[in-house]
Amino acid sequence: MLAADTPIFTAQNRAFRYGDALFETIRCIQLIPQFFEDHYRRLLRGMTLLKMQINSLPTREKLEEMMAQLISRNRIYGDCRIRLSVYRSDGGLYTPASNKAEFLIEASPLTTQGYKLNTKGLLTGLFINEGKSSSSLNAFKSANALLFVLAGLEKQAHNWQDILICNDKGYIIEGLSSNLFWIKDDKVFTPLRASGCVEGVMRKQILRLLRTNGYQLEEVPGATRKELFEADELFLTNAIQGIQWIVGFEDKRYYCRLVKEISRLLNNLIRSAEELV
């Protein structure tokens, strides 16, 4: 284990040179990484797509053990954010010299306990300068994130709390680091994975909860501005924050009725899982 400010890479690092890397961000509650099976499987699928050697990565059980040791070493006693990065070994230009992979685990404390719904809704706008490709690569979280850097700067310039991203077909498909859902007449909508949105781990849990609890649900190519303006509720999901409700998209304002109920279902799921441990 190394201090966070210890140099560990050279100029040959392929994540630095080419963005040749994937990562997962995981919330740990009482040393337990939430939904880690889904995170691990997504990482393996991404490594396979990038032709990295998946046997370079430790087993799921070994990674969980390493994460718990790192959290304890950092004396983090509340909830924790883990970033697990996987990058191809040094060597080569665009064509790698090897497909062996290396990894890095980072731990940092979170200020909240569990998945708490934000009491003050997010104000959001739309990033229109660039569209996200519908490529299968975009289902995964990669080190190639320039579009999101530009979107983050746009969000900052307007003093928004989040910003929505379009795909290359002009559909609105996700937030800056979250999957997008909207509700109209008690029916829940979310973009299809084929839209180019990230294949979110929390998105998967929410879809399962909605189906299990009898909600009307439809996966669509994405949203138009008009559809979001006509929606009753909007919310975002990711593995760190759980559910975040949106109070405003541009000039439109939204309720938070069903979003509260869905958030309650998520937290019931977490409590049930804790009781089984």
Helices (H), 108-243: 146-158, 201-212, 225-230
Number of alpha carbons in the 13 Å side-chain half-sphere of residue 232: 11
The dotted CATH code for 122-274 is: 3.20.10.10
CA-closest candidate to residue 88, choices 20, 35, 148: 20
pLDDT digits over 20-52, tens only? 999 999 999 989 999 999 999 999 999 999 999
Range 67-87 average pLDDT: 96
* Tokens 């997504």 sit on residue: 42
Looking at residues 253-261, what average pLDDT do you find?
A: 97
Q: Mean per-residue pLDDT for 210-234? A: 97
Query: What mean pLDDT is predicted for residues 174-195?
Result: 97
Q: Please list the residues that pair with 252 across neighbouring strands.
A: 249
pLDDT score of 270 = 86
CA distance 142 to 139: 9
**What average pLDDT score do residues 124-128 get?**
97
**How far apart are the C-alpha atoms of 143 and 85, rounded to whole Å?**
9
pLDDT attached to residue 7:
77
Name the residue ranges covered by the structural domains of the chain.
Answer: 14-109, 122-274
pLDDT of res. 275: 52
Whole-angstrom Cα distance, residue 151 to residue 174? Answer: 12
Q: Is the distance from CB of 50 to CB of 99 less than 8 angstroms? A: no
Name the CATH topology of 14-109: D-amino Acid Aminotransferase; Chain A, domain 1 (3.30.470)
Tokens of 55: 């046997």
- Mean pLDDT for 203-219 is 97
Provide mean pLDDT across the span 190-199: 97
* Mean confidence (pLDDT) of the chain: 95
Q: Which of 38-42, 113-117, 136-140 has the highest mean pLDDT?
A: 38-42
Q: What's the pLDDT at 8?
A: 79
* Residue 277: pLDDT over 60: no
